[in-house]
Structure formats: C-alpha cells, structure tokens
Chains A and B, each alone.
Chain A
C-alpha cells in the first residue's frame, strides 16, 4: 500500500518508515503540514499517518484538506499522537481522522491497524465500483426505457386520442404503467376507444400493449366490428402473455350518425354514460379480462345503447376507485358517482373527477396506475372537426378499375362472419374511390345491415322507435343470429371505367321477403326517429339508390370523374 507519513520529528519518522517499508509498503515522508498536503496531492497515497502537532499547518488542517480533496474515496487518516485529553482526540476525529496511534509505537498494533484499514479501504473501493456499476446500469436502463417509450407511444398513440371530444388522464407510476389508451376512427367514421389495464407494472405490464395496439388500430381502420377486434386481441394476448398476466379493458364504439354507442367491459370498473342532466347509466363488467380465455371459449357480448350528442362516456381503471386518502380509505364508486352527477358542466366531468380525487388523496401518493378517459358523443355536424381515419394504402399506378365481383354469403356464415372489411379493402384498390373510403364503408355497412337484420333475420325496424326498444331490438337480433340456419346475402360489386368517367355499382340482394322502402312512409325525412336513418344516410351518400323487387334487392351507385393520372 502507498502510505504517507507526516511527522516533524526525525526519530519517529525514521522509525515508522522503517517498520512500514519492512512490511512492504511504499512510503512517502513529509516533515511538516505543507509538505504533507503537497506530497498527498502528488503521490495519491492510500493511507495517511499524520502527526497532530506540526509546524506550519497542523495535522488537523492537513486532515481536513485531504478529506475534502478525496471526496467520495476512502483514504484513512490515522493520527500519530501522544495527546492525552479527550477534547484533543475529539478534535482529531472531527477534522476527519479515522483512528489514533499512540507513542511509543507498538509494531504489532501498527501492523494490525494498517491491515484493518486496508481491508476497509478495499471494501469501500468495491462498494464504490458496484455503486458506479449500478449507476451505469440504471442510466442505461433509463435510456432504454426512454427509447422503448418512444416506440411504444408511436404505436399506442397512433390514433385520435387527442381528438377534441376525448379527455383523458394517465398518471404514470414509472416511465411505463400498465395502462393503455387507444382511440381510432373507423372507415365508417365511428370512433372506437379502448382503455386497458394490464396486471402488474412496468415493462412486463406494458409489453402486451404493443400487439394489442397494433391489432386494435389495424382492425378498427379496416372496419372490423368490436367483437372481431376483441376476439383477435384476446386470442393474441392469450397466446403471448405468461400465466397470471392479463388485461382488464373496456371498449366503446361511438356512432355519431345514429347517436348510439356499443360497449364492452371486461374487468374494468363500471363504465358510466352521463347524460346532460346528470343522469347516470352504468355498465358493469360481465366478461373476463382479455388474455385469460382461450380463443375458442371467448365470446364477447357487446351492448348497444342510444347516446345523445353531448352525452359523455367515462371509463376508468381500478386505480381510480382504489386511490386512498390519509386514513387509508379508498375513493370508491360512491364518491365517483357523486362527482359524475355534479358533472355535465362545460368543463367536462373528467376535470371535476380529477379535482375530487385530488382532494381525496391529498398528499398521499397514488397506490396504482390511475387512468381515466371521457369521450363525448358529437352530433353529425360536429364530426368534421375530428381527425380522419388513416388509410394504410399506398397509391398504385397499375390499379384495377374494370372488374366485377360476385360474393355470396349463406347460412351459418351469416351469423359469424363480417364480410365488410374484406369488401371495403377490395373497393379501395380503386384509387378514385379512396377519398370516399368512409362513405363507401357506410354504404356497404348500411346495405349489409338492412339485408341481414330486416331481410334475412326479418326484424322489424319499428322496434327501435323508442330508446327503450333499442336494447330489446339488439337482444332479439342476437337471438335470431344464434338461431340462423338458412339464408343468403349476395354482394355484386362492379367497377366500370372509360373516357366518360368511372362508376361503382354495389348491389346487395338478400333471401328475405323485402321491407318497406317506397317513399319511407313510416319514417318521414324530417323525423328524428332512430330507425329511418339507414336509408336516409344511403340516399345522401350515393349518387343513385335503387330498390328492386320487394325491397330485398338494393343497388347503390357512385360515380367519379376521370383525371389524367387515372389512365397511367
């Protein structure tokens, strides 16, 4: 070990130096305080033997300077002293001294002290190395988490979470929390929202969010219905998540044209629909969380309800209900509902809930990840302010423009399969139709809904006249679908193209007995009834709309003009 001996009297200096060198140490000698400081800075010894009383600056001051100089390193300072008084000894310790060695020197004690401090010094050095290593690991982890967060956000916030009718609160406990908020427009112009809460925290909890978000966005944008999206998410999470990991979640689809909402809740606290007058309607979870059940057993039941423009829907994770105050009481659903009833103000209910919640928890830290989202139903005139659904299609120079497709669905397939995303994709291969992607999806889905609900299933649209009838209608519809054994829906799609322009014909025929359409006697054009909107919407979206036969054969036509590029 490299040792500095600072001692003004030559006899003691010689004696110490001789003893230390004999034990193999490398010794520097200083004869006064100034020389001690200089030699310390130059030679960087690992241990210092220091006389307390020296000419020049005394040993106490030397010790102070050395201890300041070495900062976090451990360089033991042993005072060489025959000082007797407790005060003097205390002053040596206060100046940074680690031990004493009294005169006359005892070589056995000297050796024992040196080796004790050598062990201590090594332990300190090891601890520092490990601390630096941990610090390095920690910094790298933070950098990696930061990069991962950016990737995650790019995937998860790909949609329209920042739309003006959405307000949300995500309070992260770390860089990652297990909560996930997704929102996207569908091709039909609906808005689909998902709030999820993975079990656990941190990286393991957030990793499952990546495939979930990808499935959500790609399927919602292609026009898949909620049940299909939920089925796909469940199957994927069930496949990839380890045992004991799952995702509580809720999904809502807001149809602005029909002023209705489709809801599903699997393991999140109750969803609340808040009317303008403060009336609450809640939807409890009736499903297992996502990722628990194998694909074959997972059957998502959704509920469809009317939702007037201005109504709000609130989803929250259990962190909201479980937020504790300083008396360890949870926030709970009663407090939440009280806050929601007070809401409906212009500021939105979420900010109110946030305030009440903050008052409840006070200074106490939040127990869990805590996320809330509130989405407001818009009137059709307001939706122009919303971001459009993004299309993933790239323009093709060699696009198909002259073709015909005859697509027939029959029997049980009708109760299980949704053909709309597939047909929509086929139609979007025609570049001129892409700007009307949303219209086309709505035309397809209205024609299909009419053919299936009123044609094949024979449900009368008049049931939906009242808000209460809504639930009844959808109950009867899902029963009829489950019992469906025979029936047929035929799509005939034709794209024609020439110097005169282009034309798309969508003709949908069903095996039903037809329905009332002529002149819409049962649904005057100015009525705000819910059931007539399908046909009114179709008439607005199409360039031509024809009903053939008994009404079970409908033809919709869209035209486009030729542009120079279209011939390329």
Chain B
C-alpha cells in the first residue's frame, strides 16, 4: 500500500521546521483526534456549520503535513457538510477516520529516532 503521507514532503518539512519538527508532528497527533471527535458529534447533532469548520481545519493541517489523500477526503466531507448532504457525510466519516489513523501510524513511525 502506498504511504498516506508523502515521504518527500515529510523530508522537506523536517528540514524546514528543524528542531520544531517533532513538536509539529506531536501537535498534529494530539489535535487530530480531538477534531475527529468534534466532527462525529457535529454529524450526530446534524450541525453542518460545525462539521464543515472542523473538516476544513483538519484539512488545512493535513495538507501542511503532506497527507494528500486525507486532504481530498476531508474536502469531500467539507463539501457534503456545506450541502448538508448527511448520507454522503455519513459514508465519508468512517473513511476519514481510517485514513487519519493510517496517517498517524506513519507519522509515529517518522518520529522514531534514526528514521
């Protein structure tokens, strides 16, 4: 399976952020689950504005991490929230969750010393 996070992007990011690289990934890893939880409760409460805003936010962060596929899934989720298309949103949410978990695994791997 192809990696969810573009390795070349990650290399650039490591260079760019230097000593803050670890902090950046940790921030993403801590913040992401909170945003996913917020998206799920917004979906349950049929709160389109909140769902869209959270998806948009995680999409921005994911694009800076280099998680391209997750970005496009979050874009679809954002669009469906905007349209208040709850069935599409309901179908997208588990996919986003799965993709996010995969991204997290890869980032955790990248954080290991010597990688």
Residue ranges of A at the interface with B (Cβ–Cβ < 8 Å): 7-12, 14-15, 18-19, 51, 53-55, 80, 82, 103-105, 107
Contact between B60 and A103 (Cβ–Cβ < 8 Å)?
A: yes
Interface size grouping (class) on chain B = 20 to 34
For the A-B complex, the count of residue pairs with Cβ-Cβ distances under 8 Å equals: 60
Please judge, given known A-B contacts A10-B31, A104-B64, A105-B64, whether A15 and B24 are in contact too, CB under 8 Å.
yes
Contact between A8 and B24 (Cβ–Cβ < 8 Å)?
A: no
Q: How far is the CA of A9 from the CA of B28 in the complex (A)?
A: 9
Q: How far is the CA of A7 from the CA of B56 in the complex (A)?
A: 12
Q: Which residues of B contact A80 (CB under 8 A)?
A: 60
Q: How far is the CA of A306 from the CA of B22 in the complex (A)?
A: 110
Could you list some 30 contacts between A and B, CB below 8 A? A8-B53, A8-B57, A9-B31, A9-B35, A9-B61, A10-B27, A10-B28, A10-B31, A11-B31, A11-B60, A11-B65, A14-B20, A15-B24, A18-B17, A51-B57, A51-B60, A53-B53, A53-B57, A54-B53, A80-B60, A82-B59, A82-B60, A82-B63, A103-B59, A103-B60, A104-B9, A104-B63, A104-B64, A105-B64, A107-B16
State which residues 56-100 of B face A: CB under 8 Å. 56-61, 63-66
Q: Which residues of A contact B17 (CB under 8 A)?
A: 15, 18
**Closest approach, in angstroms, between the C-beta of B75 and any C-beta of chain A?**
8
Q: Which residues of A contact B20 (CB under 8 A)?
A: 14, 18
Render B30-66 as a binary contact track against A, CB cut-off 8 A, 1 for contact.
1100010000000000000010110011111101111
Q: How far is the CA of A126 from the CA of B1 in the complex (A)?
A: 58
Contact between A14 and B63 (Cβ–Cβ < 8 Å)?
A: no
Render B2-40 as a binary contact track against A, CB cut-off 8 A, 1 for contact.
000000010000001100100110011011000100000
Q: Which residues of B contact A55 (CB under 8 A)?
A: 50, 53
Choose from A11, A82, A103 the contact partner of B24 (Cβ within 8 Å): A11
Choose from B16, B50, B64 the contact partner of A11 (Cβ within 8 Å): B64
Q: How far is the CA of A249 from the CA of B21 in the complex (A)?
A: 87
Please judge, given known A-B contacts A10-B31, A14-B23, whether A103 and B63 are in contact too, CB under 8 Å.
yes
Contact between B53 and A11 (Cβ–Cβ < 8 Å)?
A: no
Q: Which residues of A contact B57 (CB under 8 A)?
A: 8-9, 51, 53
**Closest approach, in angstroms, between the C-beta of B65 and any C-beta of chain A?**
7
**Closest approach, in angstroms, between the C-beta of B23 and any C-beta of chain A?**
7
Q: Which residues of B contact A15 (CB under 8 A)?
A: 17, 24, 64
Known contacts A7-B60, A12-B64, A54-B53; 7 additional CB pairs below 8 A are A8-B57, A9-B57, A10-B61, A53-B52, A82-B56, A82-B60, A105-B64
Q: Which residues of B contact A51 (CB under 8 A)?
A: 57, 60
Q: Which residues of B contact A107 (CB under 8 A)?
A: 16
Q: Which residues of B contact A11 (CB under 8 A)?
A: 24, 27-28, 31, 60-61, 64-65
Please judge, given known A-B contacts A9-B35, A9-B60, A103-B63, whether A14 and B24 are in contact too, CB under 8 Å.
yes
The 9 closest A-B pairs by CB, nearest first: A11-B61, A9-B57, A104-B63, A103-B63, A10-B31, A11-B28, A104-B64, A9-B61, A53-B56
Q: How far is the CA of A14 from the CA of B25 in the complex (A)?
A: 10
Please judge, given known A-B contacts A9-B31, A14-B24, whether A19 and B61 are in contact too, CB under 8 Å.
no
Q: How far is the CA of A51 from the CA of B27 in the complex (A)?
A: 18
**Closest approach, in angstroms, between the C-beta of A103 and any C-beta of chain B?**
4
Residue ranges of B at the interface with A (Cβ–Cβ < 8 Å): 9, 16-17, 20, 23-24, 27-28, 30-31, 35, 50, 52-53, 56-61, 63-66
**Closest approach, in angstroms, between the C-beta of B94 and any C-beta of chain A?**
22
Q: Which residues of A contact B27 (CB under 8 A)?
A: 10-11, 14
Contact between B58 and A9 (Cβ–Cβ < 8 Å)?
A: yes
Report the nearest A residue to B52, measured CB to CB.
A53
Q: How far is the CA of A14 from the CA of B65 in the complex (A)?
A: 12
Q: How far is the CA of A10 from the CA of B34 in the complex (A)?
A: 11
Contact between A12 and B53 (Cβ–Cβ < 8 Å)?
A: no
Q: How far is the CA of A104 from the CA of B23 in the complex (A)?
A: 18
Report the nearest B residue to A11, measured CB to CB.
B61
Q: How far is the CA of A55 from the CA of B23 in the complex (A)?
A: 24
**Closest approach, in angstroms, between the C-beta of A470 and any C-beta of chain B?**
101
**Closest approach, in angstroms, between the C-beta of A18 and any C-beta of chain B?**
5
Q: How far is the CA of A433 from the CA of B72 in the complex (A)?
A: 111
Q: Which residues of A contact B58 (CB under 8 A)?
A: 9
Report the nearest A residue to B66, measured CB to CB.
A104
Q: Which residues of A contact B28 (CB under 8 A)?
A: 10-11
Q: Which residues of A contact B63 (CB under 8 A)?
A: 82, 103-104
Report the nearest A residue to B20, measured CB to CB.
A18
Contact between A103 and B52 (Cβ–Cβ < 8 Å)?
A: no
**Closest approach, in angstroms, between the C-beta of A30 and any C-beta of chain B?**
14
Report the nearest A residue to B25, measured CB to CB.
A11
Q: How far is the CA of A9 from the CA of B39 in the complex (A)?
A: 14
**Closest approach, in angstroms, between the C-beta of A101 and any C-beta of chain B?**
11
Q: How far is the CA of A51 from the CA of B64 in the complex (A)?
A: 14
Q: How far is the CA of A80 from the CA of B64 in the complex (A)?
A: 12
A9, A14, A51: which has the most chain B beta carbons within 10 Å? Answer: A9
**Closest approach, in angstroms, between the C-beta of B11 and any C-beta of chain A?**
14
Q: Which residues of B contact A10 (CB under 8 A)?
A: 27-28, 30-31, 61
Q: Which residues of A contact B64 (CB under 8 A)?
A: 11-12, 15, 103-105
**Closest approach, in angstroms, between the C-beta of A110 and any C-beta of chain B?**
11
Report the nearest A residue to B29, measured CB to CB.
A11
Q: Which residues of B contact A103 (CB under 8 A)?
A: 59-60, 63-64
B23, B24, B30, B60: which has the most chain A beta carbons within 10 Å? Answer: B60
